[in-house]
Amino acid sequence: MTGPRELRMTEPLRDILRRAAERLVAVHASEDLDEASLEADLLFGLASGLDRSHVIAAGARPPHADALVAFETLLARRLQHEPLAYILGAREFFGMTFEVGPGCLIPRPETETLVEAALAAITEHPRHRRLVRVADIGTGSGAIALSIAQHAPSTKVYGIDVSGDALKWAARNMRRFALQERVVLLTGDLAEPLSEPIDVLCANLPYVPTDDYEGLPDEIRASEPQIAVEGGPTGIELIARLADQLAAHLAEDCAAAIFELGAGQASWVEELVVKALTAAGRGPLDVRVHRDLRGIRRVVEVRYGYPLPEAREPGA
Ligand SMILES: C[S@@+](CC[C@H](N)C(=O)[O-])C[C@H]1O[C@@H](n2cnc3c(N)ncnc32)[C@H](O)[C@@H]1O
């Protein structure tokens, strides 16, 4: 006779991972077994030092005892609703692997819509051939600031956050991608720390209304910083305050301001930004709304001073 522990030690890895995936589905009240299988593979990969293809290739054999013990510890954390990205210590965003952990928001796929809009605004800016000055307000892990700096070499990028804990992650990622020469991280409230005019200003500030915040999954509320998610009673309090600061920090001749928002907030934000820039005499304004991959009006962009398409330099 063999005890339960010995029995498990002879169980092929693929059966262990399948049972783990089933437990993840049950505990997270999800129906997505494929997603849970991916999570189980990634957790075993972290426990064993194998990449996913090697985890799958090793499926027919029982795993090494040390790897199995380490895997069970990681699985227990995930079953307690700790976000997968925090356990793995990393999240893919815009084709780059960002280090993440407690203290910073895990970058979300919909934020790539904002980065794409920002890169277009940079490429089409008249100063593109020289240097475009960019600001990312509420930089968190640095996902937006560093993706922009990596993909648009003719930029100087400021990443600002009020949270010192978040900025530690941004600084780690800045060093990871060796972008210290063109990225400056600043602590402070919204755009206040900026000391030079900005050509393209981006912001993914917290925008979840207080009442909705209470209804978010435990995984978000218990792990990710509230200051990174909850945006006040209407959700757009911080965005409204930043709209009022725009004219003081955007270049007078030509600039773009680009905001990520929640579903149903685009018209409000558009109105706020247009009102603030019009009151400061900026214009004519070119307002664009970008939809994310789910079709949600996710990003509002307001530009002024850009040349008309036919007046742009060839190849710009
Ligand atoms: C939704 S997270 C975005 C993080 C990152 N930019 C991203 O897209 O993954 C919002 C960030 O704004 C920061 N924040 C909140 N209030 C702020 C304020 N008044 N001034 C500057 N940053 C603020 C939070 O600390 C958090 O890092």
Section 168-188 average pLDDT: 98
Same domain, 144 and 265: yes
| 86 located within any domain | no
Ligand 1 pocket check: which of 141, 162, 207 to mutate, most ligand atoms within 8 Å of Cβ? Answer: 162
Domains contained in the chain, number = 2
Q: In the chain, pLDDT over 70 holds for what percent of residues?
A: 95
Domain-ending residue, one of 51, 80, 109 = 80
The set of long-range contacts for 307-310, using a CB threshold of 8 Å and a minimum separation of 24, is 307/126
Say whether both 182 and 254 belong to one domain. yes
**CB-count burial class (<10 Å; 0-12, 13-18, 19+) for 10:** exposed
pLDDT over 90 (residue 310): no
Distance CA 192, CA 182 (A): 20
Give the tokens for residue 143.
């996902």
In a domain, 248, yes or no: yes
pLDDT above 60 (res 172): yes
Instruction: Record the tokens describing residue 148, joined without a space.
Output: 């922009």
Residue 140, domain member (yes or no): yes
* pLDDT at residue number 226: 96
Dihedral sign computed on CA atoms, order 276, 278, 280, 282: positive
pLDDT for position 135: 98
pLDDT band at 32; cut points 50, 70, 90? confident
The pLDDT of residue 103: 96
**Domain identity same for 156 and 288:** yes
- Same domain for 184 and 303, yes or no, is yes
Sign of CA dihedral 106, 74, 78, 102: negative
Instruction: Kindly report the protein residue whose alpha carbon is nearest to atom 24 of ligand 1.
Output: 228
| Domain-ending residue, one of 46, 80, 114 | 80
Are residue 198 and residue 100 in the same domain, yes or no?
yes
Of ligand 1's listed atoms, the one at least distance from the Cα of 139 is: 6
In a domain, 157, yes or no: yes
Residue 155 pLDDT > 70, yes or no? yes
Q: What are the tokens at 275? A: 């009102």
Q: What is the CATH number of the domain that holds 149?
A: 3.40.50.150
Q: 47 and 171: one domain?
A: no
Give the separation between CA 277 and CA 254, rounded to whole angstroms. Answer: 12
Which two structure tokens, joined as six digits, stand for 81? 């609703």
Rounded to whole angstroms, how far apart are CA atoms 186 and 170?
Answer: 10
Q: Same structural domain for residues 67 and 160?
A: no
What's the pLDDT at 28? 83
pLDDT tens for each residue of 179-234: 999 999 999 999 999 999 999 999 999 999 999 999 998 889 999 999 999 999 99
What token pair was written down for 31?
Answer: 């129906």
d(CA 57, CA 251): 55
Q: Has residue 314 got a pLDDT over 70?
A: no
For 257, half-sphere exposure in the C-beta direction (CA atoms, 13 angstrom radius) is 28
Find where tokens 């999800």 sit. Answer: 30
Q: How many whole angstroms from 181 Cα to the centroid of ligand 1?
A: 23
Asked whether residue 316 is domain-assigned, the answer is no
What's the pTM value of the predicted model, to 2 decimals?
0.93
Q: What is the pLDDT of residue 10?
A: 81
Average pLDDT over every residue of 125-146:
97
Domain span at residue 68 reads: 4-80
Residues with a CB atom less than 6 Å from ligand 1 = 105, 107, 111, 137-141, 143-144, 160-163, 166, 189-190, 204-206, 227-228, 238
Instruction: Choose the final residue of a domain: 37, 60, 80.
Output: 80
Residues 97 and 73 in one domain: no
From the CA of 246, how far away is ligand 1's center (Å)? Answer: 17
Determine the residue of 94, 96, 105 to mutate for testing ligand 1's pocket, defined as the one with the most ligand atoms within 8 A of the Cβ atom: 105
Partners of residue 132 on adjacent β-strands: 155
pLDDT tens readout for residues 69-125: 999 999 999 999 999 999 999 999 999 999 999 999 999 999 999 999 999 999 999
- Please give the mean pLDDT across all residues of the chain: 93
> How many Å lie between the centroid of ligand 1 and the Cα of residue 3?
51
- Tell me, yes or no, whether 33 and 104 share the same domain: no
98 shares a domain with 210: yes
3-state SS class at 277: helix
pLDDT higher than threshold 90 for residue 311: no
How many angstroms separate the alpha carbon of residue 238 from the centre of ligand 1? 10
Tokens encoding 183 = 């990225």
Strand 132-137, strand 155-161: pairing:
parallel
Question: Distance between CA atoms of 94 and 112, rounded to whole angstroms?
Answer: 6
Non-local CB neighbours of 226 within 8 Å, separated by 6+ positions: 213
Ligand 1 atom at minimum distance from 260 CA: 8
Whether residues 163 and 274 fall in one domain = yes
pLDDT at 3 over 70: no
- Residue ranges of the alpha helices (H) in the chain? 4-9, 13-27, 33-48, 52-57, 65-79, 84-88, 111-123, 143-151, 164-176, 210-213, 218-223, 237-249, 266-279
CA 249 to centroid of ligand 1, rounded, Å: 18
Nearest-atom index, ligand 1, CA of 189: 20
- Asked whether residue 315 carries a pLDDT value surpassing 60, the answer given is no
Instruction: Determine the distance separating the centroid of ligand 1 and the alpha carbon of 27, expressed in angstroms.
Output: 30
Residue 281: the pLDDT is 97
| In a shared domain, residues 232 and 163 | yes
Q: How far is the CA of 228 from the centre of ligand 1 (A)?
A: 5
